[in-house]
């Protein structure tokens, strides 16, 4: 072991906060039985295959569509699936080798560059799905409740531009520790890096910014989706519009609600835990240098819950497509849109 690695490991043991190894003692043996490498590998492969399958289905569906609202919605879904796929691929490429080799981070990454990259990936690929979910909910809200307030529906090009803006914003958020606000540090059991839940000013601000932005995205999605669902329910129970039900809009809303429910279940425990942990440690000031063992274990449990979001997201689209829903509920058949002309009127004009 080189002198730089020895110094880093000593800094970790003494609770120093100037490196990425100061949150817990990375040299401890407690992490040997945390997770099986084969379980982690199978878990990652299932997620990658699920997202790849969903992406193929999305691309196939987008070629057959002529509806602009549905096409733009599929663009947002493609952005979400690509984000989940890349998030699993990037993080698994670092975490899975660790489970097989149990390499010492202080020796392999004494400069904390790999740890910073993994922490950035966790924040970037974590925040993107939440922001994309809120963006999709907002787009559907205006499309359903204010269909004539815009000059035109969101085109494919504009939809991809919005996805790009979400990626860019999440990238800037993830780069804040590189710019000096907060730190990415190695987390229990030594296989991954994430933001630092310590009462330092920079760490506290970054943790609260990440968590509150995620909570705001989930709440915004809930508000938009609730209003949109109520609007669609009114349309469906309006006797004058029985023959003009918005099956396409209903299909999109079912998928959006599914994405929102999964994001809420998988993400809210972690986001609330981050806020609670940071605020509870504020009175300690700079005296706390390492996270308590119980906090480390809870953080690991909540992060594992978050990874399920990337695996379940693609199945929302795979299972909640109209073709699948029609098999479960045969009464859901293709009907004209609420904006389409009445077929009886079309027959009158034709007869005339």
Residues 125-173: tens digit of each pLDDT = 999 999 999 999 998 888 887 765 554 467 788 889 999 999 999 999 9
Residue that is written with structure tokens 């800094």 in the block? 11
Span 233-261, average pLDDT:
71
Give the pLDDT band of residue 344 (cuts 50, 70, 90).
very low
Give the pLDDT band of residue 340 (cuts 50, 70, 90).
very low
In the chain, % of residues over pLDDT 90: 39
CATH of 37-329, one of 3.30.1300.10, 3.40.50.10070, 1.20.1070.10, 1.10.8.190: 1.20.1070.10
**CA-to-CA dists, residue 190 to 169, 194, 214, 325, 331, angstroms:** 29, 11, 25, 43, 53
pLDDT in tens, 44-57: 899 899 999 988 88
197 burial level (CB within 10 Å; 0-12, 13-18, 19+): buried
pLDDT of residue 25: 54
φ, ψ for residue 32 (rounded to 5)?
Answer: -65, -35
In the chain, % of residues over pLDDT 70: 73
Span 275-284, average pLDDT:
85
């Amino acid at each position: 072991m080189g002198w730089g690695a020895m110094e880093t490991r000593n800094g970790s043991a003494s609770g120093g906060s100037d490196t990425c190894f100061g949150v817990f003692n990375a040299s401890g043996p407690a992490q040997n039985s945390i997770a099986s490498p084969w379980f982690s590998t199978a878990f990652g492969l299932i997620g990658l295959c699920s997202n790849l399958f969903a992406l193929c289905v999305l691309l196939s569906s987008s070629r057959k569509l002529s509806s602009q609202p549905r096409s733009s919605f599929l663009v947002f879904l493609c952005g979400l699936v690509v984000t989940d796929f890349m998030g699993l691929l990037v993080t698994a490429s670092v975490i899975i080798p660790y489970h097989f080799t149990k390499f010492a981070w202080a020796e392999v990454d004494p400069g904390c560059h790999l740890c910073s990259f993994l922490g950035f990936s966790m924040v970037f690929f974590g925040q993107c799905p939440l922001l994309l979910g809120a963006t999709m909910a907002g787009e559907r809200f205006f499309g359903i409740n204010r269909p004539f307030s815009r000059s035109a529906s969101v085109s494919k090009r504009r939809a991809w531009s919005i996805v790009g803006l979400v990626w860019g914003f999440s990238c800037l958020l993830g780069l804040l520790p590189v710019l000096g606000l907060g730190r990415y540090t190695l987390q229990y059991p030594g296989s991954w890096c994430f933001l630092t839940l310590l009462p330092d000013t920079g760490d506290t601000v970054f943790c609260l910014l990440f968590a509150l932005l995620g909570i705001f995205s989930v709440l915004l999605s809930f508000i938009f989706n609730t209003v949109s669902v109520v609007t669609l329910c009114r349309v469906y129970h309006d006797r004058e519009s029985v023959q003009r039900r918005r099956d396409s809009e209903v299909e999109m809303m079912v998928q959006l609600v599914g994405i929102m429910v999964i994001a809420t279940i998988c993400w809210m425990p972690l986001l609330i835990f981050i806020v609670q942990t940071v605020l509870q440690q504020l009175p300690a000031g700079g005296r706390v240098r390492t996270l308590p063992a119980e906090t480390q274990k809870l953080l690991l449990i909540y992060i594992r819950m978050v990874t399920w979001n990337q695996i379940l997201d693609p199945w929302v689209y795979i299972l909640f497509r109209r073709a699948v829903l029609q098999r479960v509920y045969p009464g859901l058949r293709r009907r004209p849109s609420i904006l389409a002309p009445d077929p009886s009127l079309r027959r009158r004009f034709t007869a005339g």
